[in-house]
Amino acid sequence: MGTDLATSSSSSGAANQELIRTLLSRLGEDPEREGLQRTPERFIKAMEFLTSGYNVDLQALLHRARFTVAYDEMVIVRDIELFSLCEHHLLPFYGRCHVAYLPKGKVLGLSKIPRLVDAFARRLQIQERLTSQIAETIQTWIEPAGVGVVIEARHLCMMMRGVEKQHSSAVTSHMLGIFRDCAETRSEFLSLIHSKRE
């Protein structure tokens, strides 16, 4: 998307809203009834927010967030809530992301990891790509000994339509460096993210 759907220009904003009114009509609705009169405007604003990741400058996001530290134990940020849109049906999927890396002289500011997750999640996505994008970006930015990312998510395209399995979830992982090559490191990461919460 990359542009502001509602305000890139008044003419294009009006055109986008007219597209939504046409869609509502084709669904059998009356876009002029009270409950739907402002729906096109609201929908455009919602889509802007849900796809705002296209406008995130990753260099700016991570700038000044890389620190030189003599620390070589695993860093884990777990249970990062995420919401995204399935690119196949434009329906939401949501869940949790767990990120770990083994520093090699540099660490990333902890608050930047959830922001990085959001930057990629707020795009039209598939879970597999989302998982790898997070891992690859951290690997490129701080060059740790390894990175591990696991995402557990539920997809409304499976829950509301299609197979209609309300309790199914998808789990994806992307392991780099020592997380891929060393079973012990990978097992430690997986054990820690699934350990019982206090």
Judge whether 86 counts as a catalytic residue: yes
**Which residue among the candidates 88, 128, 166, 194 is catalytic per the annotation?**
88
For the chain, give percent helix, strand, coil, nearest 5.
45, 25, 30
**Which residue among the candidates 18, 81, 87, 128 is catalytic per the annotation?**
87
**Which residue among the candidates 48, 143, 157, 182 is catalytic per the annotation?**
157
Cα–Cα distances in angstroms (integers) from residue 92 to residues 153, 158, 163, 178, in the given order: 10, 10, 16, 33
Judge whether 88 counts as a catalytic residue: yes
Helix (H) or strand (E) holding 99: strand 92-102
* Strand 124-125, strand 75-86: pairing: parallel
Judge whether 89 counts as a catalytic residue: yes
Judge whether 167 counts as a catalytic residue: no
Judge whether 127 counts as a catalytic residue: yes
**Which residue among the candidates 17, 133, 139, 155 is catalytic per the annotation?**
155
Rounded distance between C-alpha atoms, residue 39 and residue 17, angstroms:
9
**Which residue among the candidates 29, 41, 48, 89 is catalytic per the annotation?**
89
Question: Which of 11, 13, 31, 14 has the alpha carbon at shortest distance from 22?
Answer: 31
**Which residue among the candidates 17, 97, 125, 127 is catalytic per the annotation?**
127
C-beta contacts of 41-47 below 8 A and 24+ residues apart: 41/6, 41/17, 44/5, 44/6, 44/13, 44/16, 44/17, 44/20, 45/6, 47/1, 47/5
Active centre residues (catalytic): 86-89, 127, 155, 157
